[in-house]
Structures are given as C-alpha cells and as structure tokens.
C-alpha cells in the first residue's frame, strides 16, 4: 500500500528484517508492561496502560497514533520526566540491560542527555531564548563529560557540521531567534547526539516544520543513526514519516499497543482496523480526487474508557465480543502482533491475506 | 503521603501528551457546568485563610453599619476627665487626647474605610469599564485618546496624584472620593479594553454584528458579561488599595478632616502620643492592616479561583 | 536596538509633557490665589491685581504652562512663597536624601523579595510557599505610615537599637528603608514567584531537564534568567515608585527629602514648591520607567540582537 513511498529503501531493508527476529538478544531498549498513570482530581488517567516495546540496536523504531494515545508519555517515562500528577506505577524499562524504573533522581540525571536524549516537536520553544545555541549544546557535554570549555566548543562545532548547520563556527554564538525552524531542529539534534547516546527519542521532530525541511531532517536522522550506534525511537502521528525512516512500528491507541510489525509488513499486511484507518487518512498522490478517510469519533476520554476493546466504539468491524472483553496481542507471525479479535484465529500461524 | 511501592517522579511541569490539558493546569481547569460562583465557593471551602478573611470582612462591615448599637459612647463626645485615659473596663482602648472613647471612634472609622473601599472604587471601575469598552470596541481615535490618557494617569505614582487632586479639592472625604476615582479608572480601562479587543474577534460577537444588533447592545449585553471575571479580579485589587490610599492621605492631613473619624486620621492625631500612649496610634493601624489584609487574602483566593476565566 | 531606544524615548516625552500639564492645571485651579497666600490676605485688591499682572497670573493657563516649562527646563522652578527660596535649590538639597532612602529600600526589597519568590516557586504549594506569600501579602497590606510608627516605637523607643528620626548616618536609614522596602519586597516576591512558575512550564525547561541537568541548574541556570527579565524591569520601576513612597516615610522619620518638602508645601499651600517637587518626582519616575524598559531590551537577546 505504501510501498511506493518507501520503495527506494526496500532492497537494503529486507536484510535487516531478516535480522530483526535474530536480534532480540541485543535489545537496546526493552520496555515491559509499562504503566504510567496520572492521578488527577477527576480520577486516575491510565495514559500508558501496560505497554511493551522493544528496540534492537541501531534501529529506528516508530510509535504511531493520534494525539492523546500515550506516545509521548511512554517516551517521557523512559526519561522519567513525566509531569505531575503522573507517575510510573508499574513495569520495567531496561536500557542496554540496565533497569531504569526505580533509579534515583541522581542516577536518572546521568542517563538523560547522556545515554538517552530527546528531540522535541517545537524547535521554536524548545531552546532557551536567552542563551546562545552553542552554549546550550555545550552544556549537554559539560554536564556529562569532564571536558574544558574550549574542547566542548570544538565538539559542538564538529557536531553542528555533522548535522549540516552552515557556518557552524559563527552559528555557535547565535541566539535561537536568529535561526530558522529547520536550523533550530538541527541544533536540537546536535544537542541530542553530542554525547553519542544509546537511544535518541524524537518526539514529533518534524511536525512543526514544513515538508521540504521535514524530508531533510528525517534524512539527517537516518544518516546519523547509520553512522553511530544510536537507536532511534520516533514518535509521530504521520504514517508518511514512518514509511520514510522506521524499521519497526508500534501503533498505539488510548494507552495500549494495538499493532506492532516491521515497517513493510505493517504497510503491506495492515491488520488492525485502527491502523487501516490511520493509513487511509493520508492523501495518496496516485489518486486524483478523493475524500480523505477519517476515523469516526474521537480518542476516548481515558477517564471513561469503553468496556472491552478501547477502539470498539469507533471500529467499523466491531463485533459483540469486542464490547465485552479486551483482546490480547495476537501473534500473527513475521514478527507481527495485533490486538484485535479478528486475528485471534491467526494466532501462531503465518496469516496471509 | 504516597504509597512507597509507587515510584514518585521528581521532575514536574512537563506537559504530557494526553487528551487532557497539561498536568499542572488540571487544578485550574474548569469542571463541567461550573460557574464562577461555584468556583469561588469551592475556593472558600478549601482556602481557610480566604474563608476567614471573608468572615472578617463581613463582621467589620456589620460593625460599621451597627456602630451605634455596639458602643454606649458618641464618637465625637469629648470628656476632659477622660483625656488620654488608659484602656479600662469602660474604655476598652482608652480615650484619645480629647477624652473621646477610642474604640467607638475606631468603630465609626470603619464606616469611612468601607465607604472608601466601595464607592470611589465602584465609580472608578464603572468609568474605566465604559471607557475601556469604547476604546476597545471602536478603536481608532477614540481608542488612542482614551488609552493615552490612561497612560498618563498610570505614569503618576497613584498616591502622589491622589494627593494633588485632594489638595486641589481642599481635602475632606469627598475630595478623597474624587481623587481615588480619578486615579483608579485607568487600570480598569486598560484591562477591559484588552478583553474587549479579544472578545470582538469571537464568533458570537461577529454573529451578533452580522445580524445587525445595535452596537451598544453588543457592547453591554455581549461583551460586558464576559469581562465580569476581570472586573471581579480588579475589584479585589482596587478595594484594599483604595482603603490604604485613603488612610495614607488622611494621615498626611489631606484626607478626612476632623471631627470626622478615619483610621488614617486617628493614627495621625495620636502620633504625638506614640511613646507614652502607644495603643492609641497602634489600634487604628491594626484595624487598617486587618481589614486590608482580609481583602487581599480573599482577593488572592478569588484570583486563583477565577484564573481559568482570565486566560483568553 | 538603537531604534527601540529612540522609540521608547520618543514615547516617554509626550507623556512627560502631558503629566506636567495635568499637574500644572490641577495645582493652578486651586481657589487659594497664590498672591493672597503670599500676602497673607492683608492687602488691597488693586495691589493684588498689580501683582497678578506682574506675575503673569492673568495669562491663559497654557501660556503660563509654557513659560513654566521653559523655565523648568532651565532649572528654574520659581521661588517658594513661604520660604522665599529658590525651589530648584531646595530640590537639589532634598533629592540626595530621597534617592539614598529609595536605594536602601530597594536593596531591602530585592534582598528579601527575590530569594523569597524563588523559594516559593520551587516549593510551590508547600508550607514555605504559603508562609512567604502570606508574608508578602502582609507587606502589600501594610499601611506604611503606621508600620513606620510601630518600628519607631519598638526598635527605637523600646529597644533603643536605632535612632528614631534623623538622617546623619546610614544607621538612621535602616528603619525607614525597611518600612519602605517591605512593601516592594512583597510585590517582587509575588512577581518572581509567578514568573518563575510560568517560565518553568516552557518547553526549553523540559529540554534542559532532558539534557540531564539537575533541578538547581535548571531553575537557576535556565529558568531564572528568563523569569527575571520582567522582574528586573519591575525593580527598576520600583526604585522610581519608591521615590513616590518616600513621601510617607520621610515625613515620619524626619528625613528632609523630596517627600518631606512636598508634604510640607501642601500643608503651607506653597504652590511653587509643591509644583516643583511633585513635577520633579513625577519626571524622575517617568524617566525611571523608561530606563526600566531600556534595561529590559538590553537584557533580552530577542530585542538586543536583531
């Protein structure tokens, strides 16, 4: 379905896909049954409700879903930067064999920006307006490494060059407001990569940028990922971005993973009705005129989750069973799992359509 | 407080990606069908200090209204034998330099403060509201003139301007009324203008306009009610300020004139006896502090409660 | 930046003129004719008319205003009716006392207000926060004149730690500075707190945390500078505002500053002195506000670096 978008990458990716299954042992990140809840006045909001995610070394893993589905909270849980009144109430987060849940504030500080770094959606507001960008990136080095000011500056300029900031020397002394959105996002990427982290979380990194800049930034991220040992966790609501850069995709809805599969498998054999809806709601260049599909209804209020499958009220295929109990993640083979009763029977077998 | 097996995260203030507003705003978020009154009531239930302040204000207003029934003495009745009498059973706070019962005068002084808190403030706010509405709604020259005038008034230190106005009007309670009204309208005008400007862009105003509703109706029926939270907040700021300003002006001798009683004037008149008869000057000051503080604590609570209305 | 400065100065100028005009008109419509005040009402009506004519009091008010302003710009504020002294000389004498008091008070306000505000914000909704905020509300609610008397009674009279009134050494300024500064401390603390809380919601604070910075570095290094921009403006404005507040404090503590002159002139209905001192204070305040804005522009790279 989306193969035309990603066709260029098809050949070299097939190898990786084969490797995927074998690579389970060297996971860079393994989140297991993570629960992050928000304790509000109106009740408990299960923003992340038992999510398990695995990212092998040197891979770009996508998390897709509408806003409010818990993507960002999952990411922030890794860094333990979930805002009050939210907290992790259960589960485990293993980073390169190291358990993060339960780490002290001090230990977490040593991990943030060092082993796990983040790029945020809004490059406009994510940089401190009163300091030069150079200073802000150097800070990421000096806080984690014992290096002098001059050396840090040198590294930052190198990094600026690596992320394609023209006139890197001069830009070091620029203030954020003097840079364009694309350049600011490059600065953010430089900040995220400068300590060579094991994992870089990119939270909607291109949403605020226009399309040509988006392509450049994605290309840059892909290139950096290939050159370094960093895995990338890309959070987006944009299936096009997923097709562009991801190796493996998790589709989240209302705090739960609905479907997970290698990227080509997901696009070619889409299973979950929600994923289908997401894919159908992107415009296709091949068709002249069409009404864009949209998924009926809205993301449910997490305080009043429907009984049974969370997606059932909006689902075209909903069966009586769906409103009764929650489906599990059913394994459909080829590393493809779906949380939908429609595929219950495919469990274990290699289901072809 | 929290369960020990639940991990408490130490860093806050990061907006989560939820269908909900950012976490730190959840307290400030409106519940369904919640009115301003409801929010203020809830605030009073939770904020003990504000509730206590409310009670204090009500009690003091009652004391002002029923002053003659609360004391056997006349406020202006002098009695030479009681000159500077110390506090006793008959005279709780003693007597002043003319032998007048200090407590009685304090009670009657409440009237001045309550009136000053209410009237000039209301007049100033009505003027400010109307000017702000016009400035915001019509824009152009009207806006320019009104707003520059407000700039000029706000450029003065308010007490100094009130002093000059009061001086020009030769003192007395009335001149304080006018002086305070002349000074306080400007801030209201500015706030209401800003609110009007943002309201003007709202759909319901556009709709009313396209239906050909009269401009005055739009201003006073559609826009004005939406300024109510701002007005309440301004009121909570203006009342204590006015009371303090009156006390200051009276203390300087250009406010309330003898024989009328005002707390500021009482402090002024008792100043010479500060070292021998300290309670005389201290008591009216305590009254001012308590009254103004009560208004400020209550106002603080009200501002918190109305915060969500003030956002746009 | 240069354009911003010029623009700001150009805005301040008309305000200054308008403020002077309003003051002039207000003070000159006072029924008590200056000539009668001067001559103590024992003079023949014809003579009054002669004096009025000679002093230009029969000219239209705008002409009088223009003449006054031209003279004022040359440093000539006229003669005091009561004291028969040059008003500008009196202002020159009084001003150092007032500015000294205002600066001491500002120091008190900043030293107490800023740390209190930061602490309240960091410990938001804790007991510390509530205590500080109640204390600052108390500062705002305090009648300055009364607080002054209370302190005189307590620290000067009862305890004998400090002198009651006077202006001979810095010791004399301690009480007035505390009295005057407390109120501003309250305002500064509240402003610092609310700005800091607002700034802490910004994305770049999240970025700073995600970099692995500790909370102290995040607050002091990243949030504070942004939060302090408006506070610095406020502080500069308050030095100006404190000049106005000095009116009260000076008359209580017997400091012969501008405020004292103003209050005395009001009492004796000494028009030129009153006009001169009020105009001078107001001008200083307007210029102070302008400097505050320029300071903001200088501190904020978004305005400074175009």
Note the pLDDT tens digit of each residue in A270-289.
888 888 888 887 666 665 55
Distance from CA of B281 to the nearest CA of A (A): 48
Distance from CA of B20 to the nearest CA of A (A): 8
For position C306, what pLDDT does the model report?
58
Q: Of C212, C217, C300, which has the smallest distance from its Cβ to A144's Cβ?
A: C212
Query: What does each of the 306 residues of chain C score in pLDDT, given as a tens digit?
Result: 778 788 878 878 888 888 888 888 888 776 555 555 555 556 666 776 776 676 667 777 888 888 888 888 888 888 887 778 888 899 999 899 888 888 888 888 889 998 999 999 888 888 888 888 888 888 888 888 888 888 888 888 778 787 777 777 777 888 888 888 888 888 888 888 888 888 888 888 888 888 888 888 888 888 888 888 888 777 777 776 787 778 788 888 888 888 888 888 888 888 888 888 888 888 888 888 788 778 877 888 877 765
Q: Please, are residues A139 and C211 in contact by the beta-carbon 8 Å criterion?
A: yes
Q: Is the pLDDT of residue A7 over 50?
A: no
What is the domain partition of chain C in residue ranges? 2-79, 92-268
Looking at per-residue pLDDT, the higher value among B36 and B11 belongs to: B36
Q: Of C14, C244, C286, which has the smallest distance from its Cβ to B159's Cβ?
A: C244
Q: Of A110, A111, A126, which has the smallest distance from its Cβ to C204's Cβ?
A: A126
Q: Please state, in angstroms and rounded to a whole number, the distance separating the CA atoms of residues C282 and C286.
A: 6
Q: Of C140, C247, C274, which has the smallest distance from its Cβ to B159's Cβ?
A: C247
Task: Establish if B27 belongs to a structural domain.
Answer: no
Nearest CA in chain A to B5: A89
Torsion (CA) B177, B181, B182, B187 in degrees, nearest 10: 150
Nearest CA in chain A to B31: A42
Q: A112, C226: Cβ pair inside 8 Å?
A: no
For position B259, what pLDDT does the model report?
74
Q: How many domains does chain B have?
A: 1
**Long-range contact set of residues B160-166: C-beta below 8 Å, sequence gap at least 24:** B160/C244, B160/C247, B160/C262, B160/C278, B160/C281, B160/C282, B162/B245, B162/B249, B163/B249, B163/B252, B163/B254, B163/C247, B163/C262, B163/C266, B163/C278, B164/C23, B164/C26, B164/C27, B164/C278, B165/C26, B166/B249, B166/B254, B166/B255
For position C282, what pLDDT does the model report?
84
Q: What is the DSSP secondary-structure string of C36-68?
A: HHHHTT-S-HHHHHHHHHHTTTTS-HHHHHHHH
- Percent of chain A at pLDDT > 90 equals 8
Q: Please state, in angstroms and rounded to a whole number, the distance separating the CA atoms of residues A279 and A275.
A: 6
**Contact status of B14 with chain A (Cβ, < 8 Å):** yes
Q: Is the pLDDT of residue A331 over 90?
A: no
Looking at per-residue pLDDT, the higher value among B195 and B70 belongs to: B195
Task: Establish if B183 belongs to a structural domain.
Answer: yes
Q: Please state, in angstroms and rounded to a whole number, the distance separating the CA atoms of residues A272 and A266.
A: 10
Strand A98-99: give its sheet, edge to edge. A43-56, A27-40, A86-95, A98-99
Q: Which residues of B touch C152 (CB under 8 A)?
A: 274
| Cα atoms found within 13 Å of the Cα of residue C78, Cβ hemisphere only | 21
Residue among C193, C191, C198, C200 at smallest CA distance from C126: C193
Looking at per-residue pLDDT, the higher value among B104 and B298 belongs to: B298
Mutation target to probe the B interface, by most B beta carbons within 10 A, among A81, A298, A305 is: A81
Q: Which residues of B touch C274 (CB under 8 A)?
A: 167
For position C38, what pLDDT does the model report?
58
For position B125, what pLDDT does the model report?
93
A199 DSSP β-pair partners = A116, A231
For position A346, what pLDDT does the model report?
64
Strands A231-236 and A248-253: unpaired
Q: Please, are residues C247 and C259 in contact by the beta-carbon 8 Å criterion?
A: yes
Question: What is residue B273's DSSP assignment?
Answer: G
Q: Is the pLDDT of residue A352 over 70?
A: no
Mean pLDDT of B147-173: 80
Task: Give the CATH number of domain C92-268.
Answer: 1.10.3720.10
Q: C212, A112: Cβ pair inside 8 Å?
A: yes
For position B32, what pLDDT does the model report?
56
Q: Which residues of C touch A172 (CB under 8 A)?
A: none
Q: A85, B23: Cβ pair inside 8 Å?
A: yes
Alpha helix segments (H runs only) across chain C = 2-28, 34-39, 45-54, 61-73, 87-122, 127-141, 144-151, 170-199, 203-210, 215-216, 224-253, 258-268, 271-299, 301-304
User: Which tokens go with C263?
Assistant: 């209050």
- Decide: helix, strand or coil at residue C170: helix
C-alpha torsion sign, points C54, C60, C61, C62: negative
Q: C143, B163: Cβ pair inside 8 Å?
A: no
- Percent of chain B at pLDDT > 70 equals 88
- Percent of chain B at pLDDT > 90 equals 12
Burial class of A285 by CB neighbour count within 10 A (0 to 12, 13 to 18, 19+):
exposed
Q: Which residues of C touch B277 (CB under 8 A)?
A: none
| Cα atoms found within 13 Å of the Cα of residue B239, Cβ hemisphere only | 22
- Percent of chain A at pLDDT > 70 equals 86
| Cα atoms found within 13 Å of the Cα of residue C98, Cβ hemisphere only | 29
User: B29: Cβ–Cβ under 8 A, 6 or more apart, which residues?
Assistant: B21, B308
Task: Establish if B3 belongs to a structural domain.
Answer: no
Q: Of B151, B274, B295, which has the smallest distance from its Cβ to C149's Cβ?
A: B274
Q: Please state, in angstroms and rounded to a whole number, the distance separating the CA atoms of residues A232 and A226.
A: 10
Q: How large is the greatest C-alpha to C-alpha distance in chain C, in angstroms?
A: 86
Task: Give the range of the structural domain holding residue B207, as residue numbers without chain letter.
Answer: 64-74+86-310
Q: How confident is the model at residue B311 (pLDDT cuts 50, 70, 90)?
A: low
Q: Please state, in angstroms and rounded to a whole number, the distance separating the CA atoms of residues A85 and B14.
A: 10
Q: B152, C286: Cβ pair inside 8 Å?
A: no
Q: Which of A333-337, B55-59, C295-299 has the lowest mean pLDDT?
A: C295-299
pLDDT in tens, B86-143: 777 777 777 777 778 888 888 888 888 888 888 889 999 999 999 999 998 888 888 8
Looking at per-residue pLDDT, the higher value among B25 and C284 belongs to: C284
Nearest CA in chain A to B19: A68
Q: B156, C285: Cβ pair inside 8 Å?
A: yes
Q: Please state, in angstroms and rounded to a whole number, the distance separating the CA atoms of residues B4 and A40.
A: 19
Q: Which residues of B touch C145 (CB under 8 A)?
A: 247-248, 251, 264, 267-268
User: Which tokens go with B17?
Assistant: 């990606």
Task: Establish if B39 belongs to a structural domain.
Answer: no
* CATH number of B189's domain: 1.10.3720.10
Q: B18, A38: Cβ pair inside 8 Å?
A: yes
pTM above 0.90, yes or no: no
């Amino acid at each position: 379905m989306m193969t035309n978008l990603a066709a260029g990458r098809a050949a070299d990716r097939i190898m990786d896909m084969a490797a995927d299954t074998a690579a389970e042992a060297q996971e860079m990140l393994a989140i297991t049954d993570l629960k992050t809840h928000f304790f509000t006045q109106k009740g408990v909001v299960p923003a992340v409700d038992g999510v398990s995610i695995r990212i092998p070394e040197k891979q770009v893993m996508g998390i897709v879903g509408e806003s409010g589905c818990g993507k960002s909270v999952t990411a922030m849980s890794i860094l333990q930067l979930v805002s009050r009144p939210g907290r992790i109430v259960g589960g485990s987060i293993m980073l390169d064999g190291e358990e993060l849940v339960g780490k002290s504030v001090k230990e977490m500080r040593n991990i943030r920006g060092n082993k796990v770094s983040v790029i945020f959606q809004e490059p406009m507001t994510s940089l401190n307006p009163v300091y030069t960008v150079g200073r802000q990136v150097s800070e990421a080095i000096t806080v984690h490494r014992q290096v002098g000011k001059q050396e840090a500056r040198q590294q930052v300029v190198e990094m600026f060059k690596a992320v394609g900031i023209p006139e890197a020397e001069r830009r070091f002394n620029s203030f954020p407001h003097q840079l364009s959105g694309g350049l600011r996002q490059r600065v953010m990427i430089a900040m995220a990569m400068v300590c060579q982290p094991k994992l870089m979380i990119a939270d909607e990194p291109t949403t605020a940028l226009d399309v040509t800049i988006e392509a450049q930034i994605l290309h840059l991220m892909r290139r950096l990922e290939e050159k370094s040992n960093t895995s990338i966790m890309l959070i987006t609501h944009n299936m096009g971005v997923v097709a562009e850069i991801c190796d493996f995709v998790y589709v989240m809805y209302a705090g739960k993973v609905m479907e997970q599969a290698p990227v080509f498998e997901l696009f070619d054999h889409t299973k979950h009705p929600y994923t289908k809806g997401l894919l159908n709601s992107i415009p296709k260049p091949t068709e002249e005129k069409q009404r864009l599909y949209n998924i009926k209804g809205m993301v449910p209020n997490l305080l009043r989750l429907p009984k049974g499958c969370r997606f059932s009220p909006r689902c075209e295929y909903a069966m009586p069973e769906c409103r009764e109990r929650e489906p599990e993640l059913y394994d459909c083979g080829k590393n493809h799992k779906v949380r939908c009763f429609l595929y219950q029977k495919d469990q274990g077998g290699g289901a072809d359509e | 407080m929290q369960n020990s097996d639940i991990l408490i995260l130490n860093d806050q203030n990061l907006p989560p990606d939820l269908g909900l507003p950012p976490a730190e705003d959840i307290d400030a978020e409106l519940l369904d069908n919640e009115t301003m009154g409801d929010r203020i009531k809830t605030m009073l239930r939770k904020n003990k200090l504000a509730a206590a302040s409310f009670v204090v204000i009500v009690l003091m207003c009652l004391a002002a209204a029923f002053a003659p029934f609360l004391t056997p003495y006349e406020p202006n009745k002098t009695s030479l034998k009681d000159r500077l009498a110390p506090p006793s059973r008959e005279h709780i706070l003693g007597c002043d330099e003319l032998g007048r019962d200090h407590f009685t005068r304090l009670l009657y002084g409440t009237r001045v403060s309550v009136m000053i808190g209410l009237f000039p403030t209301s007049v100033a706010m009505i003027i400010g509201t109307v000017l702000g509405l016009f400035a915001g709604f019509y824009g152009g020259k009207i806006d320019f003139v009104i707003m520059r005038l407000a700039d000029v008034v706000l450029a003065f230190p308010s007490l100094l301007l009130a002093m000059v106005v009061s001086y020009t009007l030769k003192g007395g309670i009335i001149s304080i009324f006018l002086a305070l009204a002349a000074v306080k309208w400007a801030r209201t005008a500015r706030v209401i203008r800003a609110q009007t400007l943002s309201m003007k862009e709202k759909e319901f105003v556009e709709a009313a306009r396209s239906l050909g509703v009269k401009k005055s109706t739009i201003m006073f029926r559609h826009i004005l009610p939406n300024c109510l939270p701002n007005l309440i907040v301004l009121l909570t700021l203006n009342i204590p300020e006015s009371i303090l300003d009156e006390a200051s002006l009276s203390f300087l001798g250009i406010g309330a004139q003898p024989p009328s009683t005002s707390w500021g004037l009482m402090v002024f008149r008792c100043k010479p006896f500060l070292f021998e008869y300290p309670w005389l000057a201290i008591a009216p000051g305590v009254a001012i502090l308590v009254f103004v503080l009560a208004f400020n604590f209550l106002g603080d609570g009200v501002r918190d409660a109305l915060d969500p209305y003030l956002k746009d | 930046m240069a354009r911003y400065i010029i623009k700001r100065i150009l805005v301040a100028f008309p305000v200054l003129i308008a403020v002077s005009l309003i003051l002039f008109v207000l003070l000159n419509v006072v029924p008590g004719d200056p000539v009668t005040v001067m001559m103590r009402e024992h003079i023949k009506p014809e003579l009054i008319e002669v004096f009025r004519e000679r002093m230009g009091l029969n000219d239209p008010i705008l002409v009088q205003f223009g003449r006054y302003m031209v003279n004022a710009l040359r440093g000539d504020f006229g003669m005091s009716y009561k004291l028969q002294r040059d008003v500008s000389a009196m202002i020159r004498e009084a001003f150092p006392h007032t500015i000294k008091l205002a600066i001491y008070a500002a120091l008190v306000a900043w030293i107490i207000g800023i740390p209190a505000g930061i602490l309240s914000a960091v410990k938001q909704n804790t007991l510390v926060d509530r205590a500080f905020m109640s204390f600052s509300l108390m500062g705002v609610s305090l009648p300055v004149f009364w607080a002054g008397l209370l302190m005189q009674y307590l620290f000067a009279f009862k305890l004998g730690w400090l002198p009651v009134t006077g202006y001979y050494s810095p010791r004399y300024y301690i009480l007035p500075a505390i009295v005057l500064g407390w109120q501003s401390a309250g305002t500064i603390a509240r402003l610092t707190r609310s700005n800091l809380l607002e700034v802490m919601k910004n994305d770049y604070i999240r970025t700073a945390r995600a970099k692995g910075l500790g909370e102290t570095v995040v607050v002091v290094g990243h949030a504070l500078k942004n939060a302090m921009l408006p506070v610095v403006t406020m502080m500069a404005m308050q030095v100006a505002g404190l000049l106005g507040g000095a009116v009260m404090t000076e008359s209580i503590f017997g400091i012969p500053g501008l405020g004292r002159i103003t209050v005395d002139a009001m009492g004796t209905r000494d028009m030129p002195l009153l006009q001169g001192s009020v105009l001078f204070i107001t001008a200083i305040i307007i210029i102070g506000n302008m400097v505050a804005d320029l300071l903001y522009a200088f501190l904020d790279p978004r305005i400074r670096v175009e």
